[in-house]
Amino acid sequence: MSTRIGFDNEKYLKMQSEHIRQRISQFGDKLYLEFGGKLFDDYHASRVLPGFKPDSKLQMLLQLKDDAEIVIVINSDDIEKNKVRGDLGITYDIDVIRLLNVFTKIGLYVSSVVLTRYDEQPTADAFQKRLEALGVKVYHHYSIKGYPSNLQYIISDEGYGKNDYIETSRRLVVITAPGPGSGKMATCLSQLYHEHKRGVDAGYAKFETFPIWNLPLRHPVNIAYEAATADLNDVNMIDPFHLEAYNKTTVNYNRDVEIFPVLNAMFENILGESPYKSPTDMGVNMAGNCIVDDDAVCEAARQEIIRRYYTGMCDNRKGLISIEEVMKLELLMKQANVTPEDRKVVAAALEKENATNGPAAAMELPDGTILTGRTSELLGAVSALLLNALKHFAKIDDEILLMSPHVIEPIMELKVNHLGNNNPRMHTDEMLLALSICANTDENAKKAMEQISKLRGCEVHSTVILSSVDERIFKRLGINLTCEPKYET
């Protein structure tokens, strides 16, 4: 596991905010900025661009906060279906509330929420009442027949004109959403239509971190993006419009390239002429200019591709994705010239499993040290592994017990005799709680607890699929986890 920094985060914050200011001035009165991906907690970017902070985009927006306001978009059908964010395990409507709270708390102005594809869905109406009770303005945008090809109808009073006009007051309007398919681009274009009718000069731009337009098509960072979006069937490709207009090779992805002729025609209909000659022109992403160590970035991206492969295999084993998606991930690994054996913890975990005849796990620390954990009567393999890692960081002898049997035994008895569990072994959350209790009276346990922050960024592989409880704990600890696609039997 490399600890080399490959990305200059400070340079990125400065360059990105300046570039967005330039784009605002290009259009005069107002810029609608479609914000793709995650505004914060962007752990994919921080993994493939070592040095990129998970909240970098949020920090960049804070540099523009006097000029910026945020509009959050959510698809009414997603509210009706209780659509869940896979990374956080919460529904889209709950995530909108979370985003509102986070943005407001740090000083960013959230002006409104837009319910797209609104058709008087009961759950959407109930959610609107909840938002309005919080003092949030809510607008409705509707499905448009023939979208996006029937331009004459779309750009009319029956199309975009039917949508509510979103009242905004600042020069930069950031359009964000809890996930893909929420209607961010359509919201931006609808606003351009309404602003133009009101005589306001407004423009549109897109901020997507990936794929990085000025890296090669088959650069590991761009391949890692394809692996991360394998479920969306996104494919990186050379932007043919940019190549034709400027004779320069840039990278975009298929959906933007496919929709660009329609967008271009919309711009011409709404604004009189299109400000862009290519999908790449629409973007404002400066991340590619802030890579300072390409070798470090390439290695980090290759490791991410392997992790995505293992996640895909486990999701297929759980029945969540098709085998075709796994095959796509295998192809991406070949394109990046990596194999599962390039993930060091895999071999270490499998070797420990063979030696102990039971589920095992391995962890790679930032200095390259490999630790292992095995299954015992008291602890599962990953719980034992976490304890071993905390002992290592605290320089505590491996033979020293950190948790008293007087603490462990009541927990096991509760699980088996009262909660109906067949397996008395402690999950990672139970082990950490027990350790924290012991830390009140045991100095070694206290030292071990003080090392928890050092687990962030470590690599772990388990020889069996973990419980959802253990997966959540590893995610919260910031540990990069992969598993063999099999269950403990």
* Number of domains composing the chain: 2
Contacts of 372 (CB under 8 A, 6+ apart): 348, 349, 352, 360, 361, 362, 363, 385, 388
Judgement on whether residues 58 and 161 belong to the same structural domain of the protein:
yes
Give the residue-averaged pLDDT of 40-60: 91
Q: Does residue 254 sit within a domain?
A: yes
| Model confidence pLDDT, tens digit, residues 186-219 | 999 999 999 999 999 899 999 999 999 999 999 9
pLDDT reported for residue 2: 58
Judgement on whether residues 285 and 418 belong to the same structural domain of the protein:
no
Q: How confident is the model at residue 426 (pLDDT cuts 50, 70, 90)?
A: confident
Cα(210)–Cα(223) distance, integer angstroms: 10
Q: Does residue 362 sit within a domain?
A: yes
The token duo for 138 is: 């809510």
Judgement on whether residues 207 and 85 belong to the same structural domain of the protein:
yes
Report the predicted TM-score, pTM, of the whole model to 2 decimal places: 0.90
Q: Does residue 367 sit within a domain?
A: yes
Cα(464)–Cα(459) distance, integer angstroms: 16
Q: In the predicted model, is pLDDT for residue 257 greater than 90?
A: yes
Average pLDDT of the chain is 92
pLDDT reported for residue 424: 72
10 to each of 42, 90, 174, 210, 382, how far by Cα in Å?
16, 32, 22, 19, 36
Q: Does residue 446 sit within a domain?
A: yes
Cβ count near 416 (within 10 Å): 13
Judgement on whether residues 426 and 283 belong to the same structural domain of the protein:
no
Judgement on whether residues 358 and 282 belong to the same structural domain of the protein:
no
State what percent of residues in the chain have pLDDT above 90: 76
CATH code for the domain of 391: 3.40.140.40
| Model confidence pLDDT, tens digit, residues 140-153 | 999 998 888 888 89
Counting Cβ atoms within 10 Å, is residue 259 exposed (0-12), middle (13-18) or buried (19+)? Answer: middle
Judgement on whether residues 409 and 269 belong to the same structural domain of the protein:
no
Judgement on whether residues 254 and 382 belong to the same structural domain of the protein:
no
Q: Does residue 390 sit within a domain?
A: yes
Judgement on whether residues 173 and 254 belong to the same structural domain of the protein:
yes
If we measure between CA atoms, which residue out of 118, 36, 128 comes closest to residue 77?
118
CA angle 162, 164, 165 (to 5 degrees): 115
CATH code for the domain of 141: 3.10.630.10
Judgement on whether residues 266 and 370 belong to the same structural domain of the protein:
no
CA atoms within 13 Å, Cβ hemisphere of 73 = 27
pLDDT reported for residue 392: 97
CA atoms within 13 Å, Cβ hemisphere of 302 = 19
Structural domain for 182, as ranges: 9-213+249-290
Q: Does residue 4 sit within a domain?
A: no
pLDDT reported for residue 87: 66
pLDDT reported for residue 364: 97
Q: Domain boundary at 241, 267, 290, which?
A: 290
Give the residue-averaged pLDDT of 323-333: 96
* Continuous segment of H or E residues that includes residue 210: none
Q: Does residue 343 sit within a domain?
A: no
Give the residue-averaged pLDDT of 288-303: 97
Contacts of 155 (CB under 8 A, 6+ apart): 193, 266, 269, 270
Question: Which residue reads 């975990």 in tokens?
Answer: 349
Q: How confident is the model at residue 1 (pLDDT cuts 50, 70, 90)?
A: low
Q: In the predicted model, is pLDDT for residue 444 greater than 80?
A: yes
Query: Which amino acid, 180?
Result: P
Give the residue-averaged pLDDT of 37-42: 80
Cα(304)–Cα(48) distance, integer angstroms: 7
pLDDT reported for residue 230: 87
| Model confidence pLDDT, tens digit, residues 108-145 | 999 999 999 999 999 999 999 999 999 999 999 999 98
Q: In the predicted model, is pLDDT for residue 362 greater than 90?
A: yes
Judgement on whether residues 285 and 373 belong to the same structural domain of the protein:
no
Judgement on whether residues 370 and 283 belong to the same structural domain of the protein:
no
Judgement on whether residues 14 and 132 belong to the same structural domain of the protein:
yes
Q: Does residue 333 sit within a domain?
A: no
pLDDT reported for residue 109: 96
Task: Measure CA 262 to chain center.
Answer: 28
